[in-house]
Amino acid sequence: MKGSKARSAHLCRQGEIPVTACLLSACAISLYVLFLPLETSPDLATFLLLAFGLFAAIGADEFRPRLTGLDYVVIVAVLATTGLSSLLSVDPARSTRFFIYLCFNVGVLILAACVISGTAVRLLCACVGLVGVVHLFGLLWAVQIAGDLSPNTIVREAHLATLIAPNDALILALCLPFFAYSLYDRCAEKAWLPGLLVAGYVALSTYVSFRLQSKLSFLGLLVAGLFSLGAGRLLSLWDTADFRQRMALSAAGFTAVFILSGFAWYLGNQSTTRLSLWAQAATVVDTPAEILSGVGPNTFLYDPKLAESLFDRGDLVVPWVHNLYLEAFHDQGLPGLLVIVALTMIPIVRALRLNDPAMRVVLSAALFTFVVMALFEITLTRRFYFAFLMCMYGLTAAQARGEQS
The answer to whether the CB of 88 falls within 8 A of the CB of 293 is yes
Averaged pLDDT for residues 264-284: 71
Range with the lowest mean pLDDT among 95-99, 134-138, 160-164, 260-264?
160-164
Please state, in angstroms and rounded to a whole number, the distance separating the CA atoms of residues 300 and 319: 6
- Name residues whose C-beta falls within 8 Å of residue 144's C-beta, 6 or more positions apart in sequence: none
Compute, in degrees rounded to 10, the torsion defined by CA atoms 26, 27, 33, 37: 180
pLDDT tens digits, one per residue of 132-153: 888 888 777 776 655 555 555 5
For residue 270, the one-letter residue type is Q
Please state, in angstroms and rounded to a whole number, the distance separating the CA atoms of residues 290 and 296: 9
pLDDT tens digits, one per residue of 357-396: 888 889 999 999 999 899 888 999 887 888 899 989 999 9
Domain locations in the chain?
A: 2-404
Prediction pTM value: 0.82
For residue 308, the one-letter residue type is E
Higher model confidence: residue 40 or residue 389? 389
Please state, in angstroms and rounded to a whole number, the distance separating the CA atoms of residues 79 and 169: 29
Q: What is the pLDDT of residue 56?
A: 61
Q: What percentage of the chain carries pLDDT values higher than 90? A: 19
